[in-house]
Structure 1
Amino acid sequence: MAKYKKQGSRKTSPAAAPSISISPRKSVETASRQQTIAQQRAGFALKKVLAVTPDKETANRFKAYANSLPAMIQTNGIGQALAFAKMKGNGRGPEASAWLALYKAVSEWLTTGERGIWPAQQDVMEAIVAGDQYQYQRAHAEAQALLSWIKQFARAEIAGDSHE
């Protein structure tokens, strides 16, 4: 019983910290300005999906390719999968537009701002070949996480069947 002092009718621990009162309004305001990386990915992905929805044919192809690109990255690696997407994006028509939109989305995510793995690079392909193994692994994981959101939003926002 030496640990506790009796003060009035309450027992308190000598190591108890004084309580600090924080205004609930202030903590809500602060929390609303900060977003998790998952929220940032989701917002970015939704913007990219909504950008392709006006053209139905491109949108349907985008949805199909968004479903297949994560598997390509897992099987072949991010470098080869993005090189394939960039190659398919060279051309005309809805197929090329859809591949190019996917390539640009992943490229922009990996090379832009504080969240980007290569913020100093303009092109993700140059960054991949110049980067180290740790950056490559981070890029792989970030691309998969981003594409997971893109795939979900494409399924939700784009009506109709996917064209493979």
Structure 2
Amino acid sequence: MSNKLENGRALFAYEKVSLAADHENKNYAKEYRALVRALPAMIHTNGFGAAVGFLFSKSNKKDGKGADSPHQAVLTVLSEWLKRQGMIEDPDFLMKAITEQSRDGYKRMTRETMSLVMWMKRFAEGMIEGDAESVE
């Protein structure tokens, strides 16, 4: 693994978590922290596709409450990072890209996402105050 890639991953995660930490709504930041802390286990237990499906379902609520949610923010971060890494073409269609991947492509996306999410988790734990909450 390239040190440059790891540093870029860490910087990207830091910038995105900083945005959440500085959000005007402190409950948003706490929800973001709880979600990012739970995401690695969610991916490991349920799989990358199922975890992204969960984020997608929570960010696309018909009542409009999902548009500015921590779930939408995390989904956007993952999409942007995978696009930067050349793994998807259109960040707006991450779910579609996942379903079209070969087995090796899916594994590569999963590994890259886990590496990014681990950085996000570290930064969220250090930058956002909060208690251990469940993710909904």
TM-score > 0.5 by shorter chain: yes
Q: Indicate conservation of the 8 Å contact 1:61/1:162, yes or no.
A: no
More helix by share: 2
The TM-score normalised by the length of structure 1 is 0.71
Q: Which residue of 1 aligns with 2:81?
A: 109
1:6 matched residue in structure 2: none
Asked if the contact 2:82–2:109 (Cα under 8 Å) also holds between the matched residues in 1, the reply is yes
Distance in 1, matches of 2:72 and 2:56, equals 6
- One-letter amino acid of the counterpart of residue 60, structure 1: K
Residue in 2 aligned with 1:19?
A: none
C-alpha displacement at 1:163, in angstroms? 3.0
1:157 partnered with 2:127: yes
The counterpart of 1:139, out of the listed 109, 112, 129, is 109
Is the Cα–Cα contact under 8 Å of residues 45 and 149 in structure 1 kept in the other structure? yes
Matched residues, number: 127
Asked if the contact 1:111/1:124 (under 8 Å) is kept, the reply is no
Find the counterpart in structure 2 of residue 97 from structure 1. Answer: 69
Q: 1:75 aligns with which of 26, 39, 45?
A: 45
Greater C-alpha Rg: 1
The two structures have a TM-score, normalised by structure 2, of 0.84
Shift of 1:117: 1.5
Q: Is the 8 A contact 2:58 2:66 kept in 1?
A: no
Matched letter for residue 57 of structure 2:
M
Does 1 or 2 have the higher relative contact order (CA < 8 Å, sep 6+)?
Answer: 2
Task: Report the Cα offset of residue 50 of structure 1.
Answer: 1.0
How far apart, in 2, do the equivalents of 1:85 and 1:93 lie? 10
Deviation at 1:121, TM superposition (A): 2.9
- Backbone CA RMSD of aligned residues: 2.0
**Aligned-partner Cα distance in 2 for 1:162–1:64:** 7
Report how far residue 161 of structure 1 moved.
Answer: 2.2
Identity %: 35
Matches within 5 A, 1:1-164: 36-53=4-21, 54=23, 55-91=25-61, 92=65, 97-112=69-84, 115-118=85-88, 120-122=89-91, 123-164=93-134
Question: Which segments of 5 or more consecutive residues in structure 2 lack a partner in the other structure?
Answer: none
Runs of 4+ with deviation above 2 angstroms: 160-163
